[in-house]
Amino acid sequence: MKAQGLVGVAVAVAKNGKILYTQGYGYANLATCQAVQPSMDFQIGSVTKQFTAAAVLQLQNAGKLNLDDTVLTYLPNYAFDPRLTLRMLLTQTSGLPNYLDFPDVSSWVNGVSEQTVLTQIAQAPLIFAPGSYYAYSNSNYYVLGSVIEAVSSVTYPSYMASNIFQPVGLSSTSYLQPAGAASPYTQGPSPGLIPDPSLYFSAGALWSNVQDLATWDAALLNGKVIPPGLFSVMVTPSGLPIYPQGGASPYAMGWVDATEVGHPSVWHNGETAAYTSFNGVFLDDGFSVIVLTNMPVKEDTPLLNLEQQLMQSICTSSATAGNC
C-alpha cells in the first residue's frame, strides 16, 4: 500500500466460497478516518465481464441465443460487421476498437444512452478481421450487455439481479453504487470520480465485496450459475494470436487462463476511474484470492503481482499449504 500510495484495500482468501482469511486495510473515507471493513463494497470494473459472460452463457443454456450467431441477429438496427459473432465478443476476438478511447467519452461521464455508444462502436473501423486475433476491448462486453437486454426483454441490471445476484446469494453485488461503499480516491490521494453507470455498463459498472466474490467463484465452479460443460467453455481461451505481437491469447470469456503454484487457475482484474479489483481462483479445488481497492493502482501489474505473491506464499508455506 505504501509503495502504491493506496488509501484502502480489502482482501479475502477463500476455498470453495468459505472465507479462510479476510481483512480491511487503510481507509474507506479519509475525511472521517473510517477504516476499510472487509464487508464494504468497491466498484469492481472489468471483473464485471465474468458476470456478463455468465449471463450470456445462461441464455445460451436456455436456448435463447447461440454463441455463434452474429451480433446483427440480436442488434439488427446497428451497422455491425456481419462477420461478428457473440463468441468473438466473449473472447475479445472481434476487432472492435475500445469505446473508452473514443473522442466523445469525456462527455459520457455524467450519463450516455446505449444507442449513442452502440452506434459509435458499430460504425468505428475494425482493428483487424473478426476472429483473426485477440485484442482486449471494452466494446465487446458493452455490446454483450445490449444483447442480453434484447434477448431477455429486461434491462441489464434487472437481468443480473434476477438471474445472477439473487439466485447465487450475492447480497452485496449491484449495478448501482450501494450505500456505505468505500469512497473513491485518485493519486494524491484526491477525491475520485464515480462515473454514471451507463459509461461502463456491462463492461465494468458492477459493485461487490470480497465475500460476495468468493461466493461467486465457488458458485461458478460448482455449477450453480451455468452447467459444468458451459463453465468449461467459459474458461477455455480462444488461442488466437494476440494483436499485433503474436503468441496465443490466454483470454477465455471474462477470465484469463493461468497456472499458479502448479494449479490450473483463472483470473481477471478491473480498473475504473477510482477503484481497482482482482479476482483469481484455482480451477481444481476452488482456492481463491480477491483484492479490492478504492484507488487506481499505478498500472495493473502490481496488483497482479500481489495476488500471485499471496497465492505463492500461502501455497508454499508448510503452515498454510493445506488450504491450497
Q: How far apart are CA 153 and CA 176, in angstroms?
A: 20
d(CA 263, CA 285): 9
What's the whole-number mean pLDDT along residues 159-164?
Answer: 98
DSSP secondary structure code for residue 295 in this structure: S
- Stretch 49-56: mean pLDDT: 98
Using alpha carbons, select from 288, 243, 229 the residue that is nearest to residue 129. Answer: 243
Q: Model confidence at 188, in pLDDT bands (50, 70, 90)?
A: confident
Architecture of domain 27-249: 3-Layer(aba) Sandwich (3.40)
Listed by start position, the domains of the chain span 27-249
Residue 56 has pLDDT above 80, yes or no: yes
Q: Is 46 a catalytic residue?
A: yes
Tell me which of 39, 46, 162, 232 is the catalytic residue.
46
Q: What is the pLDDT of residues 222-247, one digit of tens each?
A: 999 999 999 999 999 999 999 999 99
Whether the pLDDT of residue 285 is over 80: the answer is: yes
Among 203, 176, 181, CA closest to 105: 203
| DSSP class per residue in 112-125 | --HHHHHHHHHHSP
Confidence of residue 298 (pLDDT cuts 50, 70, 90): confident
The x, y and z cell numbers of residue 161, run together, are 439481479
